[in-house]
Amino acid sequence: MKKTLSVLLAAGIAYLPLSAYAQDGAQEPVAATGDVASPEDAGVVAVEEEHAAEAAEEGHAETPHYPLKKPEEVDWSFDGPFGTWDLAQLQRGFQVYREVCSACHSMNFVAFRNLEALGYSEDQISSLAGEYTVQDGPDDTGEMFERPAVGSDYLPAPYPNPQAAAASNNGAVPPDLSLIAKARAVERGFPTFVFDIFTQYAEAGPDYIHALLTGYGEEPPAGVQVMDGTYYNPYFISSAALAMPQPIYEDQVTYSDGAPQTVEQYSRDVTAFLMWAAEPHMTERKATGFVTMIFLIVFAVLLFLVKRRVWASTPH
């Protein structure tokens, strides 16, 4: 066994010079052709690499970051730890959705009976649901049939399937709006998001929707290309333009409560409604959280006082 190991070790030592010689021999033809970089060539390469790095940095600086404009913070009735819903605003927002947005966008997770939280009575909800027809079945013959909607039905979608929606909107499928206020938001970056922990800011979604609805009508800046069939909006989160044209105009929806019939007011109202649809129990959650914090503070004080009383006569 020892002899075998000695032979293998000797063979390995003998192979090392041969391997090194083979590598040197492989490099010699390259040196013979004159391709080895001289100090002058190395300097030229270094300069070229420096220019390439500068060009890359300039290109990176010119790369647009979307949205082109950050949404402004809007004063909402539901913001902050003590925010509440403005029922009149929510009803106006639902009216804007019915008369404008529902032509393209669905709300598959909102049922008619959920609208009772907006201040509608059962009779009003039944009357409202009766204006729609939904597909039901199968019946005794195995066929599907249409019937008037009831309170337990969900708001009907404008298209039967995504393919039909895309075919009617130049290939773009309008998103469902049930959770859009929680699903779309612009990152606020550091250190703003740290401050949001203490200020309880949670309205990035509504601020974005409001900015998007009111951001139409501006001229694209130089260098921004807008493809045919898209519409420039600097607040769009994914690009400089989107497939949805401006959906809301002045005096498009008639309010019965005397509220201003402007794009700004329409946008605020429908955004508030979409926030309610995304989180209908938000005010109850905030109230529960406030009561819980008060309980924890009182409980902590009581624990401290009991601890001092129990250990007061015990020497430390």
Farthest CA pair distance, the chain = 106
Identify the band that residue 36 occupies on the pLDDT scale cut at 50, 70 and 90.
Answer: very low
Residue 29 pLDDT exceeds 50: no
Residue 227's domain spans which residues?
87-110+155-280
224 within domain boundaries: yes
Check whether residue 249 and residue 224 sit in a common domain. yes
User: What pLDDT was estimated at residue 199?
Assistant: 83
Cα–Cα dist 1/201, whole Å: 77
Alpha-carbon distance of 192 to 201, in angstroms, equals 10
Please say if the pLDDT value at position 80 is more than 80: yes
The answer to whether residues 221 and 299 belong to one domain is no
Pairing of strands 231-232, 241-242: antiparallel
Residues 193, 218: one domain? yes
> Does 300 share its domain with 185?
no
β-bridge mates for residue 147, sequence order:
134
Q: Would you give the DSSP letter of residue 227?
A: -
Whether 174 and 276 map to the same domain: the answer is yes
104 annotated ligand binder: yes
Task: Give the percent of the chain with pLDDT over 90.
Answer: 68
Does one domain contain both 245 and 313? no
> Is residue 192 situated within a structural domain?
yes
- pLDDT per residue as tens digits for the range 166-183: 999 989 999 999 999 999
> Do residues 108 and 237 make contact, with C-beta atoms less than 8 angstroms apart?
no
Q: Which of 9-18, 198-207, 232-241, 303-312 has the lowest mean pLDDT?
A: 9-18
Average pLDDT of the chain is 85
Are residues 304 and 216 part of one domain?
A: no
Phi, psi of 136 (to 5 degrees): -140, 175
Q: Flag whether 60 is marked binding.
A: no
Could you tell me if residue 22 is inside a domain? no
Same domain, residue pair 274 and 305: no
**CATH code: domain of residue 214:** 1.10.760.10
**pLDDT at residue 74 tops 90:** yes
φ, ψ dihedrals at 241, nearest 5°: -145, 155
Q: Which residues, listed in sequence order, are joined to residue 241 by a DSSP beta bridge? A: 232
Domain count within the chain: 2
Query: Does residue 189 share a domain with residue 270?
Result: yes
* 26 within some domain: no
- Which pLDDT does position 50 carry in this prediction? 54
| Range scoring the smallest mean pLDDT among 84-88, 193-197, 233-237, 266-270 | 193-197
pLDDT higher than threshold 70 for residue 10: no
Q: Check the annotation: does 101 bind a ligand.
A: yes
Q: How far is CA 208 from CA 74, 80, 181, 268, 290, in A?
A: 10, 17, 8, 11, 27
Q: Is the pLDDT of residue 46 over 50?
A: no
Q: At 148, is the secondary structure helix, strand, or coil?
A: strand
Please tell me whether residues 239 and 200 are part of one structural domain. Answer: yes
Same domain, 214 and 103: yes
Task: Confirm whether 201 is domain-assigned.
Answer: yes
261 with 294, same domain: the answer is no
Res 41 pLDDT > 90: no
